[in-house]
Amino acid sequence: MTTEGKTVGELAALVGGRVVAGDETTRINRVASVEGAGAGDIVFVEGEKFLEGARESQASCVIVPQGAKLEGTACVIEAARPKLAFALMAEVLHHRKRFGGLIHPAANIAASAQVGDGVYVGAGVCVGVGARVGAGTQIHAGVIIGDDVTIGRDCVLHPNVVLYDGVTLGDGVILHAGVAVGADGFGYVRDEAGAYRKFPQVGTVIIEDDVEIGAHSCVDRGALGETRIGRGTKIDNLVQVAHNVRIGERVVIASQTGISGSTVIEDDAVIGGQVGMGDHARVERGAVVGSKAGILPGKIVRAGTVVWGIPVRPLDEYKRLNAHFGRLPRMREEIDQLKKQVKDLAAQLSGKGKQ
Amino acid sequence: MTTEGKTVGELAALVGGRVVAGDETTRINRVASVEGAGAGDIVFVEGEKFLEGARESQASCVIVPQGAKLEGTACVIEAARPKLAFALMAEVLHHRKRFGGLIHPAANIAASAQVGDGVYVGAGVCVGVGARVGAGTQIHAGVIIGDDVTIGRDCVLHPNVVLYDGVTLGDGVILHAGVAVGADGFGYVRDEAGAYRKFPQVGTVIIEDDVEIGAHSCVDRGALGETRIGRGTKIDNLVQVAHNVRIGERVVIASQTGISGSTVIEDDAVIGGQVGMGDHARVERGAVVGSKAGILPGKIVRAGTVVWGIPVRPLDEYKRLNAHFGRLPRMREEIDQLKKQVKDLAAQLSGKGKQ
Amino acid sequence: MTTEGKTVGELAALVGGRVVAGDETTRINRVASVEGAGAGDIVFVEGEKFLEGARESQASCVIVPQGAKLEGTACVIEAARPKLAFALMAEVLHHRKRFGGLIHPAANIAASAQVGDGVYVGAGVCVGVGARVGAGTQIHAGVIIGDDVTIGRDCVLHPNVVLYDGVTLGDGVILHAGVAVGADGFGYVRDEAGAYRKFPQVGTVIIEDDVEIGAHSCVDRGALGETRIGRGTKIDNLVQVAHNVRIGERVVIASQTGISGSTVIEDDAVIGGQVGMGDHARVERGAVVGSKAGILPGKIVRAGTVVWGIPVRPLDEYKRLNAHFGRLPRMREEIDQLKKQVKDLAAQLSGKGKQ
């Protein structure tokens, strides 16, 4: 990251905000936390309860929600959504490093590969036969790009990413260190002798525009068709995406989640960390799956629902069941007491019968 | 992958199948899915219910189970096990790329290393002192091979695999991108000052013939002895195999499973994804462990059983317990009702007693 | 690893032990397991029950607890804590390979980088602008070090480690193959159009002295502040440490555990494998979290407690609840029986009432 300054007035204009205190020509160099900020920094507060902390911040500017009262700080910008405003400002203050089309002499680019304008290629990078790399893309050291791979414009491939032959990335894709795209899916057939023979893994992977994938996550190629990750989807570190999975647009998947073969996650779903999904499952549009949940093969999680547990149930139901689980010892005691009472009653009744 | 054509007749002969319709000199170039197939493609159907789809496929040939009726497709091959036949055909249609003994000039091979005939060594590869690489093995770009490593014939090491010093791979081993073999096991002893001192991790790893390991999986070296993965075993992505684990032959382990130190998995076991196994556990021959299951340290899963849950129980028992879990609120209501009824009965009886 | 010999007497002196049998000038070359040992090897036994096995060992020396009786072995050393003594001896017998300041000609070191005395830099390594590497550190092949990274003395960076710009490692840090330090944290804000915009990830990572991190583990940079791992902490393979997490000193974290953003783990905590921690949680000093446990966001695990389950509960409670869970079918039967008995009693009582 590198930074370049903007004035408070420029930043406010960028996000449709309003400077309500201070000198709008004040220069801002970077975003910061309320506690860690110093001169030249801008910070944000989301709600009233954080205003107190902001008053003591050394930041040069604070973004606050509309109508919030904040005095004693150099500059104040009101914005409808301070956190979003802050993120948008960070995009201009901390832009990506620019490398101006540098191709490292220790890179290995096949003669038939097409590399666009302004592409950065770091040391030790390999770009395979017939590969195409769009303008402005950054390929950092140690990245291995197979044959016939297609990469869009303005992507960033961090060090040691591996793209197997034939996979496709759209524009603006960010892959963090070590991401592996296009390894064989995990499919075998036992032969007559009991040995596992590889089911063909000859499909491909398509990653659409503006997808970001965290370090060491794996996206396997389709067995016969494709594995696809939709536009604007964000995937955390160490996530497993198996063969023929289809993930929609604007899906969020937290760390260490695993998605088995041919499962579908529709647009705008939110998936927690360490979730496991069996094969051929479906998470419908906008559904939310809590961390560590387990989704059975073939299961459908309905659109817009929130589910949790192993196996998943509606969140409210699961929480209620968990509460009951925690009271099992009490239930046990009550049953024992009932047994005793019933026995006593029976004895009394039998005694009366004899009377 | 590259492809070369075979005729329908040749493919049928390869799998002991029978051409029951169409011209057996028809040329087939690749395997495909029923939906995605075109001219020159071969597809398969496993059961009667998929025949309808196959009728509309554009494939040049369909493999069907014996006795299945399929008309209107160019060629039909009957086979005892269509999926297996399809996999075997794929092996010949889509064979591995051949590199003909190319050693990239940007590879770093120690003078004392022995590299067999026809070995491919990609850019940036390091092969350590005293290492031996068997004939026909492919070592893709960025692979780092330590000193005194032994690699068999016809292996494929995908980009950025790391083999620490002294580990051994058999013949036909496939390691996907980033697999790490031989890192130190996770073992420490606290010293008098409370600091963790490394318990020696000076053992090794032996991976037998025809093992395949998925991207970013880790196989740690034995602390003193060895970690071993048996012939024909298949391991998915992001799996953790700790020090001194012994995995038998033809074991299948799905993604993100973790196996703690000294645990044993016997031949033909099947382990789901995200399973966790404590140390010194044992999964006996042919047992099946469901996804996300948790096996306690020292636990023995008996041969041929199917287990699930945290901690594991026999599958049927676990499913029954889960069903009871889901009905806890009803159980709670019934107990409350019983308490009320018993109280009423007691009151009635007491009333009668007073009569 | 390489080894150099020591005498039994020297080794005993090293750990404050006492040679109680055999010739203390006997030369020992390496540590071994009781079963695998041969001439020149030293082994240990922790308790009386293992003495039998040690009697049959081919080792040249056995370390035993004080007062243990062991005859028929060449040499015997008594030590207060045999396993610790064994680990300390291994440190001198099996010391790290020394490379004597070798810089591989295929390394790429920025002109402005400062590299200390005796630093080893392997093939294909990149060291960025302004980076500093302390004396005696080993940077193995394929490691990528970003700009302005600081690395202390006597560290070992195994192959293909990636350090993003600006991160800091203390002295004696060991990072295994593929560890990724400083990738962007997973934080986004939805904009007005519903797209996820990156929340700034412009903080850093600080890893203190003597930390060891296993293969393919990921430590994300702080969003605004820092992510920190305290001195002497040991982390296993495939662990996820999210942005702004703070881990104390001498913490142990087993494989495949994931720690969400801003969570704090205090000194001397012990965390099992496959544990998941929500964001802003806190594990207090010395607490123990069992494998596969799930800690909800914001949850505090109290100092010194032992917890397990999803979500976590005190271990004893969780075990009791699990036992009740296993007896749910019996509980169900008892309730059914009670219902029948109560119905019978009511009928009898009603019958009596009619009499």
Looking at beta carbons, which residues of chain C come within 8 Å of A87? 188-189, 197-200
The end-to-end CA distance of chain A, in Å, is 94
Distance from CA of B243 to the nearest CA of A (A): 21
Looking at beta carbons, which residues of chain C come within 8 Å of B183? 158, 176-177, 214-215, 237
- Among partner residues B158, B254, B349, which is closest to A345 by beta-carbon distance? B349
**pLDDT reported for residue B74:** 83
**pLDDT reported for residue B47:** 80
User: Which DSSP string corresponds to A28-76?
Assistant: E-EE--TTT--TTEEEE--SGGGHHHHHT---SEEEEETT----SSSEE
| CATH 2.60.120.260 applies to domain A2-95 | no
For chain C, helix (H) and strand (E) counts, in that order, are 5, 42
Residue in the block written with tokens 């579908």: A264
* DSSP helix/strand/coil, C255: coil
Characterize the bridge pairing of strands A94-95 and A2-3.
antiparallel
Question: Is there a contact between B311 and C322 if contact means CB atoms under 8 Å apart?
Answer: yes
Cβ distance C271 to C312 under 8 Å?
no
Residue C292 sits at the chain B interface (C-beta within 8 Å): yes
Of C213, C305, C221, the closest CA to residue C266 belongs to C305
Residue A345 sits at the chain B interface (C-beta within 8 Å): yes
- Among partner residues B184, B186, B200, which is closest to C254 by beta-carbon distance? B186
> Mean of the pLDDT values across residues C235-247?
98
**pLDDT reported for residue C349:** 85
* DSSP helix/strand/coil, C26: coil
ipTM of the complex: 0.95
Cβ distance C41 to C60 under 8 Å?
yes
Q: How confident is the model at residue A78 (pLDDT cuts 50, 70, 90)?
A: very high
**pLDDT reported for residue B135:** 97
State the virtual CA torsion across A240, A243, A248, A249 in degrees, nearest 10: 60
- Of 2.160.10.10, 3.50.50.60, 1.10.4080.10, 3.40.50.720, the CATH number of C108-315 is 2.160.10.10
**pLDDT reported for residue C353:** 56
**CB neighbours (10 Å) of residue B17?**
23
Residue A353 has pLDDT above 70, yes or no: no
**pLDDT reported for residue C1:** 54
Cβ distance C163 to C146 under 8 Å?
yes
Query: Cα(B171)–Cα(B180) distance, rounded to whole angstroms?
Result: 18
At C224, the amino acid letter reads L
Task: Sketch the domain layout of chain C as residue ranges.
Answer: 2-95, 108-315
Cβ distance B74 to B26 under 8 Å?
yes
Show the DSSP H helices in chain C as ranges.
8-14, 51-55, 82-93, 315-326, 328-354
At B82, the amino acid letter reads P
Residue A59 has pLDDT above 90, yes or no: yes
In the β-sheet with A168-169, what is the strand arrangement from edge to edge? A114-115, A132-133, A150-151, A168-169, A204-207, A226-229, A246-247, A264-265, A282-283, A300-301
- Among partner residues A142, A194, A349, which is closest to B349 by beta-carbon distance? A349
Query: Cα(C112)–Cα(C147) distance, rounded to whole angstroms?
Result: 10
Cβ distance C299 to C281 under 8 Å?
yes
Which residues pair with residue A351 across a beta bridge? none
Query: Cα(B79)–Cα(C85) distance, rounded to whole angstroms?
Result: 64
Rg (CA), chain B: 28
Residues 49-88 of B with CB under 8 A from C: none
Cis preceding-peptide flag for B200 (omega within 30 of 0): no
For residue A9 the two structure tokens come to 């007035």
Catalytic residue from among C140, C158, C176, C243? C243
Distance from CA of A125 to the nearest CA of B (A): 9
pLDDT one digit per residue (tens) for chain B, 355 residues: 556 799 999 999 999 999 999 999 999 999 999 999 999 999 999 887 778 888 889 999 999 999 888 877 689 999 999 999 999 999 999 988 888 789 999 999 999 999 999 999 999 999 999 999 999 999 999 999 999 999 999 999 999 999 999 999 999 999 999 999 999 999 999 999 999 999 999 999 999 999 999 999 999 999 999 999 999 999 999 999 999 999 999 999 999 999 999 999 999 999 999 999 999 999 999 999 999 999 999 999 999 999 999 999 999 999 999 999 999 999 999 999 999 999 999 998 887 655 4
For residue C10 the two structure tokens come to 């020297």
Query: Cα(C186)–Cα(C171) distance, rounded to whole angstroms?
Result: 28
Mean pLDDT check: name the lowest of A191-195, B319-323, C71-75. Answer: C71-75
Distance from CA of A167 to the nearest CA of C (A): 23
**pLDDT reported for residue B131:** 98
Question: Is there a contact between B342 and C342 if contact means CB atoms under 8 Å apart?
Answer: yes
Cβ distance A28 to A42 under 8 Å?
yes
User: Which DSSP string corresponds to C91-118?
Assistant: HHHEEPP--TT-B-TT-EE-TT-EE-TT
Looking at beta carbons, which residues of chain B come within 8 Å of C274? 258, 274, 276, 294
**pLDDT reported for residue A47:** 80
**Cβ neighbours of residue C96 under 8 Å, at least 6 residues apart?**
C1, C2, C138, C156
**pLDDT reported for residue A3:** 61
- Among partner residues B30, B177, B326, which is closest to A180 by beta-carbon distance? B177
Cβ distance A236 to B292 under 8 Å?
no
Q: Of how many residues is chain C composed?
A: 355
Query: Cα(C110)–Cα(C131) distance, rounded to whole angstroms?
Result: 8
**3-state DSSP of chain B:** CEECCEEHHHHHHHCCCEEEECCCCCEECEECCCCCCCCCEEEECCCHHHHHHHHCCCCCEEEEECCCCCCCCCEEEEECCHHHHHHHHHHHHEECCCCCCCECCCCEECCCCEECCCCEECCCCEECCCCEECCCCEECCCCEECCCCEECCCCEECCCCEECCCCEECCCCEECCCCEECCCCCCEEECCCCCEEECCCCCEEEECCCCEECCCCEECCCCCCEEEECCCCEECCCCEECCCCEECCCCEECCCCEECCCCEECCCCEECCCCEECCCCEECCCCEECCCCEECCCCEECCCCEEECCCCEEHHHHHHHHHHHHCHHHHHHHHHHHHHHHHHHHHHHHHHHHC
Give whole-number Cα distances, B231 to B227, B247, B298, in Å.
13, 9, 25
Give whole-number Cα distances, C162 to A216, B280, C81, in Å.
11, 33, 38
Characterize the bridge pairing of strands C306-308 and C313-314.
antiparallel
Kindly identify which residue of chain C lies nearest to residue B188, measuring between CA atoms: C87
Show the DSSP H helices in chain A as ranges.
8-14, 51-55, 82-93, 315-326, 328-354
Characterize the bridge pairing of strands C294-295 and C276-277.
parallel
Query: Cα(A123)–Cα(C125) distance, rounded to whole angstroms?
Result: 9
Looking at beta carbons, which residues of chain B come within 8 Å of A278? 291
Query: Cα(C311)–Cα(C309) distance, rounded to whole angstroms?
Result: 5
Q: For residue range A10-47, what is the model confidence (pLDDT) as tens digits?
A: 999 999 999 999 999 999 999 999 999 999 999 999 88
State the virtual CA torsion across A271, A273, A279, A281 in degrees, nearest 10: -20
B-interface mutation test, from C34, C120, C255, most B Cβ less than 10 A away = C255
Query: Cα(C245)–Cα(C261) distance, rounded to whole angstroms?
Result: 6
Q: For residue range C317-331, what is the model confidence (pLDDT) as tens digits?
A: 999 999 999 999 999
**Residue B74 or A191, more confident:** A191
- Among partner residues A83, A255, A335, which is closest to C186 by beta-carbon distance? A255
**pLDDT reported for residue A48:** 78
Of B262, B251, B242, the closest CA to residue B284 belongs to B251
The chains found to touch A (3+ Cβ pairs under 8 angstroms) are B, C
Burial of C227 (0-12, 13-18, 19+ CB in 10 A): buried
Query: Cα(C346)–Cα(C263) distance, rounded to whole angstroms?
Result: 58
Q: Of how many residues is chain A composed?
A: 355
Query: Cα(A56)–Cα(A34) distance, rounded to whole angstroms?
Result: 8
**pLDDT reported for residue A354:** 54
Give whole-number Cα distances, C331 to A345, B121, B327, C37, in Å.
21, 65, 12, 54
**pLDDT reported for residue A352:** 66
Cβ distance A160 to C142 under 8 Å?
yes
Question: Is there a contact between A220 and B237 if contact means CB atoms under 8 Å apart?
Answer: yes
Q: How confident is the model at residue C107 (pLDDT cuts 50, 70, 90)?
A: very high
Catalytically annotated residues of A: 243
Cβ distance C296 to C281 under 8 Å?
yes
**pLDDT reported for residue C43:** 96
Query: Cα(C206)–Cα(C107) distance, rounded to whole angstroms?
Result: 25
Query: Cα(B26)–Cα(A62) distance, rounded to whole angstroms?
Result: 73
Looking at beta carbons, which residues of chain C come within 8 Å of A325? 321, 325
Distance from CA of C261 to the nearest CA of A (A): 11
Burial of C301 (0-12, 13-18, 19+ CB in 10 A): buried
Give whole-number Cα distances, B247 to B236, B261, B271, in Å.
14, 12, 11
**Cβ neighbours of residue A55 under 8 Å, at least 6 residues apart?**
A70, A71, A72, A73
Burial of B76 (0-12, 13-18, 19+ CB in 10 A): buried
Query: Cα(A181)–Cα(A227) distance, rounded to whole angstroms?
Result: 10
* DSSP helix/strand/coil, A135: coil
Cis preceding-peptide flag for B311 (omega within 30 of 0): yes
Distance from CA of B236 to the nearest CA of A (A): 6
Residues 248-267 of A with CB under 8 A from B: 256, 258, 260
